């Protein structure tokens, strides 16, 4: 039998099929998704859960004229397959290939890029208002779910949409939030009834009739209608926010979805509508259905068995080092608690929770709350560790400043995914935390150069009780060094000398240390010996050590996996204040470039960023040569 999916390159092709063929298309699309991700790795479970939903949305709505926004968009692979990217789908998350998330520059079918949570309703509301101002009647649809409704931003947007009475359609993809009971035949019937033209017309007619009577009667009638709809749909919360609620609906019944979407599309209702869809994450692939995380994110895997290909390394993962070290401290200190925002396995807090279930807190996708919650714990003498990805902590910067830093509360920030992260690309790169934390007064900011240093920084943070602190570490595995005990502490604000040279000194902050060593080996063959410093601290700086190397070397290079304004900027400011540059010191700061770097392997991304060993060696050689050129030019001037 010829596969129907092969005939679909764009949604317009999908719409040529009869409704009776959509089940087969959904089944084939699911198989295609499994096949693709088995070769590319990536987010699988969420995509499996929205196959029928994806087919129904593109079948009913006139995309790309109608705008379809996927929240977080880690579930967008089926969407990409049927929106002109099927031929490139096996380049997902690879260098020069398709992004693992929606991306405006990639396709007109991606009207809004998203990889962080809970932005869809706000963005579609903006689109809806813009269309109204432009007298454009096209639909805007937001698909939100997979925990994204736990973020306050979603409710802020819904509140605003209800107040504006803007016509937007929100599809709540409820796959693990247990908002409502399992869907049955009666719920299916009621959803169709409540979305039909007849009910919309009746509802609007009732409004017009009762508006002619007293306000008191109108209020009573409104309450009666709300009560009726609340009893049959359970949508009281959404109704109170001003949304017309439909559901719950079986998200795997493509025929029913199509009928409901058509009813909504053709209705005269002008306010916001929420369609509550129940789906199963990992649907249709047994290994995913039986997995605890529903194969949320996977490496390459065997389709027949579901067995994933794991990279082999003798060195431990940084995330696991953090979790195991924190557990050791928590066994001795009952004041230590762990906090994360919907990322327990990603941050290692799931291991901490197994050992200390009463002292681990997953607050959902609510980083702002997580930070202020940690601040509250700190006021009562507890030692909160907020384990949050660098890129997600950005969402809570005001809380870091206002609720933690200004009050000098000893919240400890465990910043995972520091630096460039590979396949997840720029949305998940930890590029800015050094800058946005080092600018804050009285903050301790550390970066581990290897897994041993990470242990020492965790150890040290346990004893920092008078101010906030942060330690950053990358995704992936360490380098395989001997691990210290939990009693091995660092002196705050003190770096360490790795090797000593003469003309050139490198101040390294973070895991580029191994690349610095390789650069030194390259240059040693040219007779250039290098001093290498592992700075450890961006704040407070090791001023004594920095002054020492600045006064005893011709060239000083700072290196960090972060943006401008971070470690190198603070070193430059310090040296400038001391007048060191007046004495002829050549200083260069090697940082992440002023661009967003697309997904690739971390090695290639750092090469593009100019932070690999060869780039470091070239920068040093270039800086040394500039001294020679300058000297020759001065000689010509004097002659």
Catalytic residue among 281, 294, 539, 608: 281
Residue 476 DSSP symbol: S
According to DSSP, the residues that pair with 534 across neighbouring strands are 496, 508
Q: Look at the block and give the residue holding tokens 């465990």.
A: 414
According to DSSP, the residues that pair with 169 across neighbouring strands are 141, 273
Residue 4 DSSP symbol: G
Q: Are the C-beta atoms of residues 393 and 400 closer than 8 Å to each other?
A: yes
Find how far residue 589's CA is from the centre of its chain: 28
According to DSSP, the residues that pair with 68 across neighbouring strands are 141
**Which residue, among 413, 412, 409, 415, has the nearest Cα to 467 in the 3D structure?**
409
Active-site residue flag, 281: yes
Catalytic residue among 367, 451, 560, 561: 367
**Strands 537-539, 444-447: parallel, antiparallel or unpaired by DSSP?**
antiparallel
Catalytic residue among 85, 395, 512, 536: 395
Q: Are the C-beta atoms of residues 51 and 251 closer than 8 Å to each other?
A: no
Phi, psi of 441 (to 5 degrees): -60, 140
Q: Are the C-beta atoms of residues 569 and 589 closer than 8 Å to each other?
A: yes
Q: Are the C-beta atoms of residues 493 and 544 closer than 8 Å to each other?
A: no
Q: Are the C-beta atoms of residues 538 and 574 closer than 8 Å to each other?
A: no
Phi, psi of 271 (to 5 degrees): -90, -175
| Cα–Cα distance, 192 to 636 (Å, whole number) | 87
> What's the chain's Rg over C-alpha atoms?
28
Q: What's 282-339 look like in SS3?
A: CCCCHHHHHCCCCCCEECCECCCCCCECCCCCCCCEHHHHHHHHHHHHHHHCCCEEEE
| Cα–Cα distance, 95 to 423 (Å, whole number) | 8
* Cβ-based neighbour number of residue 297 at 10 Å: 18
| Cα–Cα distance, 111 to 451 (Å, whole number) | 41
* Cβ-based neighbour number of residue 220 at 10 Å: 13
Q: What's 113-131 look like in SS3?
A: CECCCCCHHHHHHHHHHHH
Integer angstrom CA distances of residue 48 from 32, 155, 183, 279, 296: 10, 26, 19, 9, 10
**Which residue, among 267, 425, 458, has the nearest Cα to 348 in the 3D structure?**
458
| Cα–Cα distance, 599 to 202 (Å, whole number) | 52
The catalytic site residues sit at 281, 367, 395
């Amino acid at each position: 039998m010829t596969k129907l999916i092969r005939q679909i390159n764009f949604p317009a092709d999908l719409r040529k099929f009869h409704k009776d063929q959509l089940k087969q298309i959904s089944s084939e699309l699911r198989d295609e998704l499994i096949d693709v991700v088995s070769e590319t790795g990536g987010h699988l479970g969420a995509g499996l859960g929205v196959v029928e939903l994806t087919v129904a949305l593109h079948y009913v709505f006139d995309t790309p004229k109608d705008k379809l926004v996927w929240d977080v968009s880690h579930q967008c692979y089926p969407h990409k397959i049927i929106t002109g990217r099927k031929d490139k789908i096996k380049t997902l998350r690879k260098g020069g290939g398709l992004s693992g998330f929606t991306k405006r520059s990639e396709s007109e079918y991606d009207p809004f890029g998203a990889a962080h949570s809970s932005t869809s309703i706000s963005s579609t509301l903006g689109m809806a208002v813009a269309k109204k101002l432009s007298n454009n009647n096209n639909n805007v649809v937001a698909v939100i779910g997979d925990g994204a409704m736990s973020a306050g931003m979603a409710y802020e947007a819904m509140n605003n949409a209800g107040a504006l009475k803007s016509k937007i359609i929100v599809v709540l993809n409820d796959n693990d939030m247990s908002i409502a009971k399992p869907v049955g035949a009666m719920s299916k019937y009621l959803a169709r009834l409540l979305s039909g033209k007849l009910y919309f017309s009746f509802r609007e007619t009732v409004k017009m009739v009762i508006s002619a009577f007293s306000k008191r009667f109108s209020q009573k009638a409104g309450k009666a209608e709300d009560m009726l709809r609340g009893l049959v749909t359970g949508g009281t919360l959404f109704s109170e926010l001003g949304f017309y609620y439909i559901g719950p609906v079986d998200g795997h019944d493509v025929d029913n979805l199509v009928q409901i979407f058509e009813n909504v599309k053709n209705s005269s209702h002008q306010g916001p509508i929420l369609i509550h869809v129940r789906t199963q994450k990992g649907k249709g692939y047994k290994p995913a259905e039986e997995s605890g995380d529903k194969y949320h994110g996977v490496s390459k895997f065997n389709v027949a068995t579901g067995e994933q290909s794991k990279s082999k390394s003798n060195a431990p993962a940084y995330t696991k080092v953090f979790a195991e070290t924190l557990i050791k401290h928590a066994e001795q200190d009952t004041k230590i608690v762990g906090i994360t925002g919907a990322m327990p396995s990603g941050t290692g807090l799931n291991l901490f929770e197994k050992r200390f279930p009463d002292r681990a807190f997953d607050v959902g996708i609510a980083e702002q709350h997580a930070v202020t919650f940690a601040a509250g714990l700190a006021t009562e003498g507890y030692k909160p560790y907020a384990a949050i990805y660098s890129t997600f902590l950005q969402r809570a910067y005001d809380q870091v400043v206002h609720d933690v830093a200004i009050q000098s509360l000893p919240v400890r920030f465990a910043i995972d995914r520091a630096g460039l992260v590979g396949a997840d690309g720029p949305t998940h790169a930890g590029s800015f935390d050094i800058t946005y934390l080092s600018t804050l007064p009285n903050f301790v900011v550390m970066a581990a150069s290897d897994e041993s240093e990470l242990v020492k920084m965790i150890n040290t943070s346990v004893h920092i009780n008078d101010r906030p602190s942060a330690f950053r570490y990358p995704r992936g595995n360490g380098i395989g060094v001997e691990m210290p005990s939990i009693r091995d502490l660092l002196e705050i604000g003190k770096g360490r000398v790795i090797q000593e040279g003469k003309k050139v000194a490198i101040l390294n902050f973070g895991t580029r240390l191994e690349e610095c060593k390789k650069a030194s080996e390259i240059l040693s063959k040219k007779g250039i010996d290098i001093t290498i410093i592992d700075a450890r601290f961006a704040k407070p700086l090791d001023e004594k050590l920095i002054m020492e190397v600045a006064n005893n070397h011709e060239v000083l290079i700072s290196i960090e996996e972060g943006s401008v304004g971070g470690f190198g900027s603070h070193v430059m400011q310090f040296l400038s204040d001391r007048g060191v540059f007046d004495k002829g010191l050549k200083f260069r700061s090697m940082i992440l470039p002023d661009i967003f770097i697309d997904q690739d392997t971390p090695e290639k991304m750092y090469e593009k960023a100019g932070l690999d060993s060869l780039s470091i060696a070239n920068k040093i050689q270039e800086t040394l040569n500039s001294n020679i050129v300058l000297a020759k030019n001065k000689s010509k001037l004097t002659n």
